[in-house]
Amino acid sequence: MGSSYQAAVARMYALGHELAYPPSHKFDLAHMRVLLAALDHPEHRFPSVLIAGTNGKGSVAATLASILQASGLRTGLYTSPHLVRINERIRINGNPILDGDFARRHDRVDHTAARLVADAELPWHPSFFEMVTAMAFEHFAGEKVDLAVLEVGMGGRLDATNVVEPRVSILTDISLDHQKFLGDTVAEIASEKIGILRRQGVVVTLPQQPQANDVIGKAILDLDAYAADAVRYVPPISPASRRWLAPSDHRESVRGPLSRYPLEVMGKQILVESPLVGRHQLRNIALAIAAAEVLAKQGFRVTSEAMEQGIRQTDWPGRFQVVPSRPNAPEYVLDVAHNPAGAWALRSTLSEYYGDRPLTFIFGAMRDKAIAEMAEILFPLAGRVIATQADNPRSATVEEIRQAAARTATDIEAAEEVGAALDRATRSVAPPGVVVVTGSIYVVGEAISRLGGKA
């Protein structure tokens, strides 16, 4: 008899956090291939797109998956980490895997792994991330998706997702993050990310930092890969070429503002209207459009009309997600800026949308993140900062955040958990004040749950 959903989730979390394993355990594709071979290679039973990078992977993945779904394709989407429930990581046509299917996929993968360990074909049980990845592959194969969009968990070269043969490899913006695992320079990190490229394969990317450009350009030449042109889908930054809707102009109460601009795609004029807001998102949307165009040339039934519809219907919570003010409550902005590059993007978007409105930050981060640098980028914008921590063993304590942010000379208030921070802000911030919740996807996820939203 199979285990219940609750038991399956408990067994998954008992494996430890996905970044808790030393590199020798996490980074070994040979072990992942042994596991998948025993499962009859589900990763070979559906075509896929693979996305690596430091920032923007999830936004590109969600936009591309929405375009493919609007095209009538049965579309799988695998992302990480999750905001509220683990099921969010595995989706088909926008719907998270059902609890019963999660338990069933878990049992098959878990029992297979246990047998392989018992037979000495694996030296240890697969990690949390390897398990979820194998379960996603099983689900997509079993449900016969037409195409799956896969977000790399970390790095690329030795990430558990990098066992597929992608139709398209997408590289988003690369910057410093996860240095403990990936390297201390942008060039070293880029060298890990380019591991998702394939010989004579198709890669979609955009010009970025010189160090990353050098590594990516050399890899494309060495692999005789084809680089699709995404630059033409990034609109110029000028009032004449695009118009931002004001933050108060909400189409839906929790979708927030929209970015809107005309674009010629596949020989037709479309109106790009996306809930993903901020100048950095223009690049992510361009990558998704370019990848969709490549897939259309490969025979997938993608049209410019489906691109327009899919972009408009993209659902990717926690990325400059605006929860409008309600009676006795301020307006909230929820954004998972978890590294310096993400912090700069958030700062730019806040400045563009909120101008001189007073900001209160609720900030919490994982202790392995660049907290000091993020604080120096973000805290000068705020009239008030409330430090908190998510219910996660990797969370930095309030005191650790205070110490890391000492150079900002900011007076930091303390709230030991996210709910308490939200309660304090709700009681004390009135319009036109805005509460910005950021620093960690786990903090944002807990805030979404507390504010009554869904991921």
What angle in degrees, to the nearest 10, is found between the helix axes of 29-38 and 99-118?
110
In the chain, how many domains are there? 2
Q: Are residues 328 and 401 in the same domain?
A: yes
pLDDT at 408 over 60: yes
206-221: average pLDDT: 95
Residue 455 included in any domain: no
pLDDT at residue 353, rounded to an integer: 86
Q: What sign results for the dihedral spanned by CA atoms 242, 244, 250, 252?
A: positive
Quick one: pLDDT band at residue 277, thresholds 50, 70, 90?
Answer: confident
- The pTM of the full predicted model, rounded to 2 decimals, is 0.92
If DSSP codes are grouped into helix, strand and coil, which group holds residue 241? coil
pLDDT at residue 248, rounded to an integer: 41
pLDDT at residue 252, rounded to an integer: 38
Mean pLDDT of the chain, nearest integer: 90
pLDDT at residue 18, rounded to an integer: 56
Q: Are strands 48-52 and 147-151 parallel, antiparallel or unpaired?
A: parallel
The mean-pLDDT minimum among 206-210, 219-223, 238-242, 289-293 falls in 238-242
What digits encode the pLDDT tens for the residues 336-355? Answer: 998 999 999 999 999 988 88
What are the DSSP calls for 140-192, one per residue? HHHTT-SEEEEE-SS-STT-TTTTS--SEEEE-B--S--HHHH-SSHHHHHHH
- List the CATH number of the domain containing 387: 3.90.190.20
Quick one: pLDDT band at residue 2, thresholds 50, 70, 90?
Answer: low
Residue 100 included in any domain: yes
Q: Are residues 206 and 168 in the same domain?
A: yes
pLDDT at residue 21, rounded to an integer: 41
Residue 48 included in any domain: yes
Name the residue range of residue 401's domain: 321-450
Residue 420 included in any domain: yes
Q: Are strands 243-244 and 259-265 parallel, antiparallel or unpaired?
A: antiparallel
What digits encode the pLDDT tens for the residues 53-111? Answer: 999 999 999 999 999 999 999 999 999 999 999 999 999 999 999 999 999 999 999 99
What digits encode the pLDDT tens for the residues 65-75? Answer: 999 999 999 99
- List the CATH number of the domain containing 222: 3.40.1190.10
296-321: average pLDDT: 96
The residues facing 148 across adjacent strands are 48, 76
Q: Which residue, 277, 312, 347, sits at the end of a domain?
A: 312
The mean-pLDDT minimum among 92-96, 194-198, 297-301, 428-432 falls in 428-432
129-151: average pLDDT: 98
Q: Which residue has the higher pLDDT, 279 or 75?
A: 75
The residues facing 51 across adjacent strands are 151, 170
Q: Are residues 329 and 307 in the same domain?
A: no
Q: Are residues 23 and 148 in the same domain?
A: yes
Q: Are residues 221 and 363 in the same domain?
A: no
Radius of gyration of the chain (CA): 21
Q: Which residue, 312, 343, 365, sits at the end of a domain?
A: 312
pLDDT at residue 245, rounded to an integer: 41
Q: Are residues 390 and 344 in the same domain?
A: yes
Q: Which residue, 254, 287, 312, sits at the end of a domain?
A: 312
pLDDT at residue 180, rounded to an integer: 52
Q: Which residue has the higher pLDDT, 323 or 363?
A: 363
Q: Are residues 351 and 307 in the same domain?
A: no
Angle made by CA atoms 183, 187, 191, in degrees to the nearest 5: 75
Quick one: pLDDT band at residue 445, thresholds 50, 70, 90?
Answer: very high
Q: Are residues 190 and 333 in the same domain?
A: no
Residue 108 included in any domain: yes
Q: Are residues 161 and 300 in the same domain?
A: yes
Across 222-251, b (16+ Cβ under 10 Å) vs e yields ebebebbebeebbbeeeeeebebbebeebe
Q: Are residues 307 and 326 in the same domain?
A: no
Quick one: pLDDT band at residue 177, thresholds 50, 70, 90?
Answer: low
Q: How far apart (Å, rounded) are the C-alpha atoms in residues 332 and 360?
A: 10
Q: Which residue has the higher pLDDT, 289 or 356?
A: 289
Q: Which residue has the higher pLDDT, 236 or 171?
A: 171
Quick one: pLDDT band at residue 24, thresholds 50, 70, 90?
Answer: very low
The mean-pLDDT minimum among 59-63, 179-183, 237-241 falls in 237-241
Q: Are residues 352 and 254 in the same domain?
A: no
Q: Are residues 74 and 127 in the same domain?
A: yes
pLDDT at 318 over 90: yes
Residue 343 included in any domain: yes
